[in-house]
């Protein structure tokens, strides 16, 4: 694992959410959810990555919201995978913390 791979996974998720912001992907609710999930990952707890628009707290009544939610699930699952490979030393590095808390 490298901090760079975590940064890339986060950047891909972040870019997608910004691109799809008309679905509410960049509203405060999904952002708080993402931060909460990251905190759980870093605490060594299991996380269930949301799959549906309702679970992501995005605009579920907008056409295409479920596709957006599934794409968010896939992209965030990559973040979970990369963070899971993190050593304690890497997790304590300033570069890693900056990457994780960029969202």
The structure's pTM equals: 0.88
Other beta carbons within 10 Å of 77:
15
CA angle centred on 36, ends 57 and 98, rounded to 5° = 120
Tell me the C-alpha distance between 60 and 35, whole Å.
21
- Express each pLDDT in 48-80 by its tens digit: 999 999 999 999 999 999 999 999 999 999 999
pLDDT band at 96 (very low <50, low <70, confident <90, very high): confident
Contact assessment for residue 25 and residue 72, using Cβ atoms and an 8 Å cutoff = yes
pLDDT of 43 reads: 81
Contact assessment for residue 56 and residue 14, using Cβ atoms and an 8 Å cutoff = no
């Amino acid at each position: 694992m490298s901090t760079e791979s975590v940064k890339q996974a986060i950047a891909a998720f972040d870019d997608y959410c910004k691109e799809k912001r008309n679905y509410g992907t960049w509203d405060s609710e999904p952002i708080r959810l993402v931060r909460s999930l990251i905190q759980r990952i870093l605490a060594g707890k299991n996380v269930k990555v949301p799959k549906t628009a309702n679970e992501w707290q995005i605009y579920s009544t907008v056409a295409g919201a479920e596709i957006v939610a599934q794409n968010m699930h896939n992209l965030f699952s990559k973040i979970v995978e990369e963070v899971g490979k993190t050593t304690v030393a890497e997790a304590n590095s300033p570069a890693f913390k900056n990457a994780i808390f960029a969202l």
